[in-house]
Amino acid sequence: MSEPIHAVSGKSRQVRALHLDDLDAVLDIERQGYSHPWTPGVFRDCFHANYRTWALTEDKEVIGYAVVAYMVDEAHLLNLCVARRHHRSGGARYLLRHLIAQARQENMSRVLLEVRLSNEPAVTLYNSEGFEQIGIRPQYYPAVRGRESARVMALVIA
């Protein structure tokens, strides 16, 4: 599938399917972004029919990724991360809009996600794209000291 190219500061960005060959780059980004990163095995388990895995590339280099599980008529965003050096460049928004458009095209009724209560930049992004908080999952994420609760957010797309 060919994706539209989005120019950013003289460079071209696009979203394409994530491949197992991208795993080293994805794991590097994952380790930059999270105190408790996913393992290679967790990522490998996402390469199945009911998942959508996306790579955000800039001049063909993987700079971000998203993992979405499709369950009946809902798309559950499990992981979205952009390399630290590309934060605040619009990459996360670009990737998020892509996965929402794909979910809509595949007749999903809504997109669900969990986000750490402390992750204000992500919450701001999701709110600006129309997501609304629908609940809290207490002690959902592992944290440096104990566990951290998550906001459950949803975007109706049907």
| pLDDT tens across the length of the chain (158 residues) | 445 555 455 568 999 999 999 999 999 999 998 888 999 999 999 999 999 999 999 999 999 999 999 999 999 999 999 999 998 889 999 999 999 999 999 999 999 999 999 999 999 999 999 999 999 999 999 888 899 999 999 999 97
**What CA–CA distance (Å, rounded) separates 52 from 92?**
16
The enclosing H or E element of 24 equals helix 23-33
pTM of the model: 0.91
Q: What residues make up the domain containing 46?
A: 6-156
Q: Is 1 inside a domain boundary?
A: no
| Number of domains present in the structure of the chain | 1
Q: Is 101 inside a domain boundary?
A: yes
- To the query of whether residue 126 is one of the catalytic residues in this protein, the response is yes
Q: Is 15 inside a domain boundary?
A: yes
- To the query of whether residue 58 is one of the catalytic residues in this protein, the response is no
70, 114, 129, 140: the active-site residue: 114
30, 58, 94, 126: the active-site residue: 126
Q: Is 100 inside a domain boundary?
A: yes
CATH number of 32's domain: 3.40.630.30
